[in-house]
Amino acid sequence: MDTDLTDIELIQRITNRDSKALENLYDRYSPVLYTLVKRIAVDKETSEEILADIFVIIWQKSSMFDINTGNLYSWLINLSRNKTLDFIRRQKGLITDEYNEEYENIVILPNISTIIPSNDLSKTFSSREKIYSAVHNLTEAQQYVLSLAYYDGLTESEIAEKLNIPLLTVKSKIRVALNTVKEILAKEDFQ
């Protein structure tokens, strides 16, 4: 298969039941998705199990991706985050809802804005250092709050409770942190 295919071309082929395209997508995305999953799940075996589940979902639900967004990268990242957090919460008994088709469509599959900057993996990889420095330019507190929100899946109230700080402070830190990263990346012409 042509490895120069764009993300969108790949997902279109997957929707048409091209297993080689799925293999190609795996080769392309498994490192970044695995990194994210393992950051959330920590355990290696659990992470591998979740990643396998994610690719099964991609195979089965690729048609649910809105090609018009042109941003498969964000869809896959959000899908992986949702699936991993759900898996971990179920393991801990925090979620008791039945995991069925409907649940997967509503909770696991991401709702990406239809007006989102187009993005693909090669583009993001080439700007990885910029992203890295943008995140690490944030204050430690901002980074920590971002980490709790994004990787630990805590809500703003839960973060406030955990850190024993006012809710408004948490809201403000999250807002400022994401705005800062966005602005730095915009300056770098990334978006």
In the region spanning residues 49 to 68, those forming contacts with other proteins, defined by CB under 8 A, are: 51-52, 55-56, 59
Q: Establish if 151 lies at the interface with other proteins (CB under 8 A).
A: yes
78-to-31, 111, 121, 150, 152 alpha-carbon distances in Å = 15, 9, 14, 10, 14
Which residues in the 88-117 window bind other proteins by CB under 8 A?
A: 112-117
CB of 180 vs other proteins, minimal distance in Å? 10
Closest to other proteins by CB, 65 or 119: 119
| Residues listed for the chain | 191
Question: Nearest CA to 25 among 43, 45, 5, 40?
Answer: 5
Q: Establish if 135 lies at the interface with other proteins (CB under 8 A).
A: yes
Q: Give CA angle at 153 (183, 166), nearest 5°.
A: 75
Q: How far apart are CA 25 and CA 14, in angstroms?
A: 9
| Per-residue binding letters, 18-47, with other proteins (x by CB under 8 A) | -xx-xx--xxxxxxx-xxx-xx-------x
133 burial level (CB within 10 Å; 0-12, 13-18, 19+)? exposed
Closest to other proteins by CB, 51 or 88: 51
Closest to other proteins by CB, 102 or 128: 128
> Which tokens belong to 54?
């994610």
Instruction: For residue 150, list its beta bridge partners.
Output: none
Q: How far apart are CA 191 and CA 183, in angstroms?
A: 9
Q: Establish if 171 lies at the interface with other proteins (CB under 8 A).
A: yes
CB of 57 vs other proteins, minimal distance in Å? 11
Which residues in the 63-92 window bind other proteins by CB under 8 A?
A: 69, 71, 73-74, 77-78, 81-82
CB of 55 vs other proteins, minimal distance in Å? 5
Q: Contact with other proteins (CB under 8 A): which of 89, 91, 179, 187?
A: 179
Q: Taking phi first (over 0 means left), then psi (-120 to 50 degrees means alpha), and beta for anything else, what does residue 65 get?
A: beta
> Which tokens belong to 184?
């730095």
Closest to other proteins by CB, 115 or 164: 115
Closest to other proteins by CB, 3 or 100: 3
